[in-house]
Amino acid sequence: MKDLAFQGTWRAYQQKILDDLTNLMSDDGLHIVAAPGSGKTILGLEVMRRLGEATLILAPSKTIRDQWSQRLRMMFLPANAGEPDWISHDVRAPRTITIITYQALHAAFSGHTAEEEIIDSEEEGSDGVQSVETGKQETERARKKIIAKLREEKVRTLVLDEAHHLRNEWWKALTMLKEALGKPTVVALTATPPYDVDPLEWDRYQALCGPIDGEISVPELVLQGDLCPHQDYVHFSLPSELEAQKLAEFRAQIGDFIEALLKSAEFKQAILHHPWITQPLENVEHILDDARFFSSMLVFLNAQYVDLPQSTLDILGVKAREIPDLTLEWIEVLLNGVIYTYRNDFEEAEQVLRLQEGRLRDIRGVEHGRVRLTDARSVQKLLVSSVSKLNAIVDITRLESASMRDELRMVILSDYIRKDALPTGPADLPPIERMGVVPIFETLRRSGLDLKLGILTGSLILIPAESKVILDEIAGHLGIGREHIRYQQTAFDAGFLAVEISGALSRNSVHMITELFNRGGITVLVGTQALLGEGWDAPSVNTLILASTVGSYVLSNQMRGRAIRTDPRSPQKAANVWHLAVIDPEKFEQRIPLRFGRKSTDRKAPDPFDTMTIDLGSDVDALKRRFYAFEGLSFGEHPSIESGFHRLMLGAAKWNARGVDDINKIMERGAADRESLKVRWHSALRSYRAFPRMQETLESNYAPKGLLNWNTTKFLYAQSAALAGMILSAFLDTLSDMDIRLLEQLALFLFVMFSMMAIYCLPGAFKASLLLLRNGSLEGSMKQVGKTVLETLHNMSVIRSELGKMSVEATLDQNGIIYCRLEGATTIERSHFLDALREVLVPPQNPRYILVRSSKFWRLNRVDYHAVPSIIGRKREDAMHFAQLWDRYVGPSDLVYTRSAQGRLTLLQFRAKSFASAFTRKTDRVSRWE
């Protein structure tokens, strides 16, 4: 450790953390959240150096593991220094600094001898897990032996890189290690903390890594110059002619099947004679267990113009006109219940069910024992791996190559290698029918574009033949002789060489090809997300195409992080990140009707947070989910920085072949103007706040109103009547001058009566007036609900920040959308608050406690239900505290425990209401720079 010394200059956020390191580590740990490319690795090494104790560093992949070693040599040791003998990559033989992967720790603890290989996860059908059964006693011996060696080496510091979303086995090994070392100092570094997990999972993560000590967002790092300006673009495609034909055939078969189903009198009779329909009161418990299936039968019968028994409607607490329209989704729920879950209930209709099941199988409408009509996996797979994306990649590459010329450094990430797609000779040009590294390479090679193409995966490396001299020079600098590098001309093109590096030196292959890419020996590099998607360090990347199907929160952000790093060799760098999406023409052209049978007069409300109100298919849906993982620049006239797909401003797009071309041209024009991109970032980063930051906000078009309850508002009406009576009596009293004895007595009587009435109603009127002031607007109602959630979570110690220093802020925009956020809390406290608030607004289907509010005005009765958030409903005392605060801030309500007999009936009615409200109430979480 004494030989280590940082050789560079600290970035602003790094220096700030180092200056305050003593305070930050007062709990014997450090937990930092910062975007990919922000320099977390170097920061972790410096903290390790300052602690001065033997250290075990754990990384999520071999690539990132090697990056730690590389950073240590390059940034903390003298120039040209080799790797010291006090660094180890084997936990079985630890040294002063031991750098391994989480999987390697698990393998060693389990008594396995093989190191994990990245190649596994690059091959189709593999998940990268090697399952080896080891005896329990042997596992215990292996674990004790490793822990003994770590103790012998006096390892007292654990550095955890991206220690989240780990496999269960890895997590267990890590937890056992921490406990065995006896309260070691933990330094946790991540770009993507698991905010998307439930509170129990978060508690487990925090128990391992400690509370977050510092969080640096992407806009902050762009503002400081630590990340470059960047933009996300989407290239939309239509399926190929053959793919579109397959989709049309599948959807036509579904349409024919449903048409026949609706005409089947036998199937209709089977539903009508189900005991839940004929005897609903005797089957309440069963209905409660699956209210959605019960609802699907009612929806189906209602669409068939059947007059539903009042008893079935009463159980749900709805009227016939409130029953939703029959859609493909409802038909899917119905068929799954009839054919699979409750088949024994339809014994007399077995022949009919067997016929319908056979028809479903004929049209591939059954997958793994479930009916799938809305988004069949076969359709999802067709869209996500559509070969039309290959043409999109060519279009993007042509555009970026023309724009950037020799400065282009493009990386294309895919899921699988598909080595079998390599041609066997120059004349071997079979049609390319699958996505993957080799198909992408081949498509670009055949395109005729003037590119320096290359491939970098765990098992296949191809470089341009003209770049061999540069690679030899790079190898020489690394001390790798030519005898250790094998070049072989490819059989299909003399312009390319396959590269193999022998023996232990093969782990340098990624670094060598990366440096070749940095120097321009390769300008378009195709690789797998498994090898290059996380931790790969190539700051020269200025264009990234995500041809991977992954939609997860963590990996999407990690892959995108490859491109947004600053490049010392190119200070003016701006990066383009391209996403690919294939739209489903069968959906947006509505070849299948959206609704069947009897139609409701109400239409489904558009999603106010998704400007694309039309369904474009599963591939676009996956892309929308991916966009929730990161914030970026909006496409509006006045740029802002926010998360979510709506920032692409596609609300006015025309979704046909010509419209798709128009959208892509808009994207292309933006991508070609990188200078404008820098200006827009500069404009968006300016804020009216002294210290702007990313603010996580809940958007909603709905807030519970507090004054719909007659029991509350009657006091206001009574008080008003009393005051009016007092005025009337005073007026009558003035008429007494006319010497009318009767009027005088009447005035006195009215004055006394209304005075007593006013005094009696005063407390209730005061409370009602207070609620009116607080809840008089949508944003006012939201603020009161938020206050209820906040104070409950604070009482539970889920939120520990000082209550007086926190505040719930709510604003209303011109479109009627409410924005609510919590000020003065930590990141995870804000996350728990927003999660709980969202459950109040858009409730889950099975809450333990429900708030019931009965509103009555003259002859109009209305019942509103609100779920007590799951985190609060785990304990009765917390739910009761929530209800008390609701009464105080929002309005009177009754707390119902849904696990009781009466409560389960209330739960059923709650679910029925929530089914209906789900079409109109929309809530979403977004982050904004402000």
Residue 828, pLDDT > 50, answer yes
Nearest C-alpha neighbor of 566 from the set 533, 542, 534, 535: 542
Residue 629, pLDDT > 90, answer no
Q: Which amino acid is at 621?
A: D
Structure tokens at 807: 């505040």
Nearest C-alpha neighbor of 588 from the set 609, 630, 617: 617
Q: Alpha-carbon distance 195 to 801, whole Å?
A: 18
Q: Is the dihedral of CA 481, 485, 486, 491 positive or negative?
A: negative
pLDDT average, residue stretch 844-853: 87
CB 39 within 8 A of CB 14: yes
- DSSP 3-state of 698: strand
Q: Which amino acid is at 79?
A: A
Note the pLDDT of residue 127: 40
Q: Nearest 5°: phi and psi at 643?
A: -95, 165
Which residues, listed in sequence order, are joined to residue 462 by a DSSP beta bridge? 455, 498
Residue 921, pLDDT > 90, answer no
CB 632 within 8 A of CB 641: yes
Residues in the chain: 930
DSSP one-letter string for 450-465: ---EEEE-SS-EEEEG
DSSP one-letter string for 604-660: PPPPTT-S--S---HHHHHHHHHHTT-EEE--SSS--EEESGGGG--TT---SHHHH
Residue 612, pLDDT > 60, answer no
**Predicted model pTM:** 0.80
CB 841 within 8 A of CB 923: yes
Note the pLDDT of residue 818: 84
> Using one digit for the tens of pLDDT, what is the confidence trace for 494-552?
999 999 998 777 778 998 999 999 999 999 999 998 888 777 888 999 999 999 876 55
- Cα dist from 366 to 262, 371, 719, whole Å: 19, 4, 64
Pinpoint the alpha helices (H) of 52-101.
62-76
Q: Alpha-carbon distance 84 to 97, whole Å?
A: 10
Most distant pair of Cα atoms in the chain: their distance: 128
- Work out the percent of the chain whose per-residue pLDDT is above 70: 82
CB 697 within 8 A of CB 927: yes
| Higher per-residue pLDDT: 882 or 627 | 882
Q: Alpha-carbon distance 675 to 682, whole Å?
A: 11
| Higher per-residue pLDDT: 117 or 782 | 782
Total Cβ atoms within 10 A of residue 90:
13
Q: Which amino acid is at 65?
A: R
> Using one digit for the tens of pLDDT, what is the confidence trace for 339-398?
999 999 999 999 999 999 999 999 999 998 899 988 788 888 888 889 999 999 999 999
Residue 71, pLDDT > 50, answer yes
> Using one digit for the tens of pLDDT, what is the confidence trace for 876-908?
999 999 999 999 998 889 999 998 878 888 888
- Work out the percent of the chain whose per-residue pLDDT is above 90: 45
Q: Where are the domains of the chain?
A: 12-216, 241-374, 710-774, 776-929
> Using one digit for the tens of pLDDT, what is the confidence trace for 139-164?
888 889 999 999 999 999 999 998 87
| Higher per-residue pLDDT: 325 or 157 | 157
Residue 582, pLDDT > 70, answer yes
DSSP one-letter string for 98-112: EEEEHHHHHHHHTT-
CB 291 within 8 A of CB 314: no
Nearest C-alpha neighbor of 129 from the set 146, 107, 111: 107
Residue 28 pLDDT level (bands cut at 50, 70, 90)? confident
Note the pLDDT of residue 81: 73
Q: Which amino acid is at 43?
A: L
Residue 685, pLDDT > 60, answer yes
Nearest C-alpha neighbor of 460 from the set 521, 419, 508, 501: 419
Pairing of strands 410-414, 543-546: parallel
What is the C-alpha end-to-end distance of the chain, expressed in Å? 42
Nearest C-alpha neighbor of 903 from the set 846, 856, 837, 836: 846
Residue 709, pLDDT > 70, answer no
Pairing of strands 453-456, 461-464: antiparallel
DSSP one-letter string for 583-611: --HHHHTTSS-SSBSS--SS-PPPPTT-S
Nearest C-alpha neighbor of 325 from the set 705, 668, 602: 602
Residue 863, pLDDT > 90, answer no
Residue 596 pLDDT level (bands cut at 50, 70, 90)? low
Q: Which amino acid is at 355?
A: L
pLDDT average, residue stretch 850-867: 72
- DSSP 3-state of 427: coil
Note the pLDDT of residue 796: 96
- Among 379-388, 551-560, 713-722, which stretch is predicted with the lowest mean pLDDT? 713-722
* Strand ranges for 467-572 from DSSP E: 485-489, 496-501, 524-528, 543-546
Q: Alpha-carbon distance 191 to 726, whole Å?
A: 68
Q: Alpha-carbon distance 196 to 556, whole Å?
A: 14
| Higher per-residue pLDDT: 474 or 599 | 474
The fold of the 12-216 domain, in CATH, is Rossmann fold (3.40.50)
Nearest C-alpha neighbor of 58 from the set 5, 109, 3: 109
Token pair 């890895």 in the structure block, residue: 170
> Using one digit for the tens of pLDDT, what is the confidence trace for 746-802?
555 555 555 565 555 555 444 444 444 444 466 788 899 999 999 999 999 999 999
> Using one digit for the tens of pLDDT, what is the confidence trace for 279-296?
998 888 888 888 889 999
Nearest C-alpha neighbor of 854 from the set 841, 871, 866, 869: 866
Q: Alpha-carbon distance 218 to 929, whole Å?
A: 10
Note the pLDDT of residue 494: 95
Note the pLDDT of residue 278: 93
Mean pLDDT of the chain: 83
Q: Alpha-carbon distance 610 to 598, whole Å?
A: 28
Residue 476 pLDDT level (bands cut at 50, 70, 90)? very high
Q: Which amino acid is at 666?
A: I
Note the pLDDT of residue 83: 74
- DSSP 3-state of 723: helix
Note the pLDDT of residue 827: 75
Nearest C-alpha neighbor of 208 from the set 344, 25, 29, 454: 29
Note the pLDDT of residue 195: 66
- Among 228-242, 286-300, 434-448, 662-676, which stretch is predicted with the lowest mean pLDDT? 286-300
